[in-house]
Amino acid sequence: MTPITTTADLAAFCERLNTQPFVAVDTEFMRETTYWPKLCLIQAAGPDVEAVIDPLAEGLDLSPFLAVLSNPKIMKVFHAARQDLEIFVNLGAMPKPLFDSQIAAMAAGFGEQVAYDALVRQMLKVDLDKSSRFTDWARRPLSENQLTYALADVTYLAKLYPMLRDRLEAEGRLTWVASEMAALGDPANYDVEPENAWRRLKPRRNSAKYLAVFKAVAAWRERTAQTRDQPRGRILKDEAIEEVATQLPLDADGLNRLRSVPKGFSGSRFGPELLAAIKEALVDPEGYAPVLDKPKASAMPANGAVVELLKVLLKARAEDAGVASKLIATVSDLEKIAGDDEAETAALQGWRREAFGEDALKLKRGEIALVLDGGRVRAVEVRRAPKPA
């Protein structure tokens, strides 16, 4: 097997891709020691054409393939797409329209976060050879085994897509995953602007000084990681951002007293840079601090026992529907519902409300109860005794 290594060959391949109704896409990349993923291989397959593209080939221009990804007439099919999408967004192309077979499999009854090889085994009765999974994809030349392994990731994905799509359509569930696909394609998910880095974390306090420093340290770490092309955690751990924002160190001694900051950090080039970022944020903390969404005044703290009951109901409803429970609601959704009947959560909207949300509210109001019936949990209507005259 010979990968595509020239722009001319890639352009010719993409001309054929542009005639396909869909294209299955996968990538091989490396980022264990870097901030930016190093794209090492692209695999693409339509119903009638497939190839492996070598993005590391000298002089290769990926523009023809990026144009295919941006073509609104062609469905782009991935499995567990998020990291692949991040790569292509960084290259300037957001693949749309989008179909993620892992999300689709959740609605089709294959469980949560089913692996690609497991899905191929269950649906196509094929056992994939995964021996090349952890090889060095940046090393050239690539072996025949590596190329065969890589291409299989789209060869069978192109066979899975029509089967999953038709199955969901027949069961009336294609619209169930539409919102998930739309959310996956939201460019905000792949925002690497340093000033927005704090959004990926969870601030625990609401004071202006805390939030200003929290935002500033997250931005400093993101900017430093990008400039040095190193993973965020190698610059500073998440827990250190929380501790710095809480303790507000203003000098080297203050940094040295923090448990989550590495020993010797204050004496490195990072120490003075971090302290400068902290001091700058504290010049006008009210003006720099991010504004957090405040919970609704009517919302009550989530009752732990209610959340546990909702978990049982969710599991039962998911099993009845043959859908992964995570697709219907998350623990965060359950906590919101436990504290507020009108919580702003997807679990109380659309098909999710019909499949689970309405019963969740009835369970809270005592209108239904959970009973064990032959090894299965069922929800039954509670018959209330009439009030005495």
pLDDT tens by residue, 168-218: 999 999 988 988 899 899 988 999 999 999 999 999 999 999 999 999 999
**Residue 118 and residue 176 in one domain:** yes
Across the chain, what does the average pLDDT equal?
A: 94
pLDDT on residue 266? 94
* Least confident among 78-87, 351-360, 375-384: 375-384
**End residue of a domain, out of 169, 190, 211:** 190
**End residue of a domain, out of 190, 220, 251:** 190
- Domains in the chain: how many in total? 3
Residue 263 — φ and ψ, nearest 5°? -60, 135
Percentage of the chain modeled with pLDDT above 70: 96
Cα 54 to Cα 14, 25, 51, 130, 275: the distances in Å are 14, 14, 10, 20, 43
Q: Is residue 24 part of a domain?
A: yes
pTM score, whole prediction: 0.88
pLDDT on residue 302? 65
pLDDT on residue 327? 92
Q: Which amino acid is at 197?
A: A
- The secondary structure element, H or E, covering residue 245 is helix 238-247
Q: Is the pLDDT of residue 387 over 70?
A: no
Q: Tell me which residue range forms the domain holding 315.
A: 304-381
Q: Is residue 388 part of a domain?
A: no
> Can you give the CATH number for the domain in which 200 is found?
1.10.150.80
**Residue 171 and residue 199 in one domain:** no
Q: Is the pLDDT of residue 295 over 80?
A: no
Residue 132 pLDDT grade (very low, low, confident, very high; cuts 50, 70, 90):
confident
93: left (phi over 0), alpha (psi -120 to 50) or beta: beta
Q: Is the pLDDT of residue 81 over 60?
A: yes
Q: Is the pLDDT of residue 151 over 70?
A: yes
**End residue of a domain, out of 288, 317, 339:** 288
Q: What does the buried/exposed string (b/e) look like for 16-33 if buried means 16 or more CB atoms within 10 Å of the residue's CB?
A: ebeebebbbbbbbbeeee
**Residue 56 and residue 139 in one domain:** yes
Cα–Cα distance, 252 to 273 (Å, whole number): 11
**Residue 39 and residue 143 in one domain:** yes
**End-to-end alpha-carbon separation of the chain, Å?**
85
**Residue 33 and residue 178 in one domain:** yes
Q: Is residue 319 part of a domain?
A: yes
Q: Is the pLDDT of residue 301 over 80?
A: no
**Residue 186 and residue 201 in one domain:** no
**Residue 186 and residue 198 in one domain:** no
Cα 63 to Cα 67, 127, 161, 180, 288: the distances in Å are 6, 34, 25, 28, 39
